[in-house]
Structure 1
Amino acid sequence: MRIQVDVNEALQDYVADISLREPDLLQELRIRTSELPLALMQISPEQGQFISLLVKATGARRALEVGVFTGYSLLSTALALPEGGSVVALDISEEWSAMARDFAERAGVADRIDLRIGDARTSLDALLLEEGAAGSFDFVFIDADKENYEAYFEAALKLLRTGGLIVVDNVLWHGAVLDETQQDSETTALRAFNAKVRDDKRVDLSVLPYADGLTFAVKR
């Protein structure tokens, strides 16, 4: 029997009450970001804590993030890395990334972050050309423009070690992936991406209806 809990606002508040351990600096970043026009691009504090838990549970030392925005997920990752760990972070916006840099410095983890501004596809191509980069990453988080998810995933697989984990956000796209009247470029790209990963024998796969839908793919 399949049992599904209806996660209404009251239950979500309860989950946060019994589990959320949001550091003050991350809370400040979240509140500041909530005042921006593109605030919906920010992940929830529960999701940030989940990313931190995954980084620690997998023992990741080298991480990659595609899509930074103001840095909530980036800071969650950097704070969870062990001493000597590092995260390469890719974003198109110098404006939003400046906030991420500022908070990373205040958190004392700026030395763990290699922030690269520009088209992520170009940045990934350049990263793959670096000596020793291919197969050296332990953890990848993808949360950027949906039209390029397939390209980001392919690059991530090349950069990831065997047994490394890729986490992809927004794969359910507020339920729009089920609505065939929705034919915009983002929704159609996500449908194609989801179908592709479903059939990809290079990874072990799980998709969870958590947040806006998360894909977990472990490289075989």
Structure 2
Amino acid sequence: MAYGSNLHAARLACYLRGGRPNGGTQDYPGCRDRRPPRRAVATALPGTLYFAGRSLTWGGGSAFYDPAAHGDVPCRAYLLTIGQFSDIAAQEMLRSPGTDLDLTPALTTGRAELGPGRYETLLHVGELDGHPLLTFTAPWGVAGAELNAPAPPYLRTLAAGLAESHGWGPWRSAGYLATRPGASGHWTPQAVAAVLDPPTPLSPRSG
């Protein structure tokens, strides 16, 4: 279940096939199974998206999900194999892909902390057509996070994902992104919209 830059299929493809996302500074090795997702569905989760820490790929804050906070988060559910999900999670956790995760604790209790760092907390957030919905986030919520504003290339990728998955126009995306914790007070909807115009083509390129 993607809620950040992986809303955009081209960015997710860098995790699957390997490469560097346009606007990013980091290369990814890719998954053992480099096939595209078998299905992608737009959906939403209760909670909020916030920006915190510092992204090694984009600079600025990274997007995280707090299921306990008020609001709704537009998401995109991808149908992946366990191996693909494990390898994507490993790359998000700054680990080497190649080992399947034991998803039993997360599926049983709804949550499993694989480490103290960013994206090392697995969440089981529901079911869709008989498949479990899994995502990863930080162990802390928005109240305990070191908030940090996102960088322009990251905002463009997020907006491209919102347009692709939910059909949002630039002004709707700008209004949403600018009001998320971490971005609010640094970005205005007008400033985000200016970053998105003209839009930057987003497609994976080899590293």
Q: Under a length normalisation based on structure 2, what TM-score does the superposition of the two structures give?
A: 0.32
Q: Which has the higher contact order (CA 8 A, sep 6+)?
A: 2
Which one has a bigger Cα radius of gyration?
1
Q: Under a length normalisation based on structure 1, what TM-score does the superposition of the two structures give?
A: 0.31
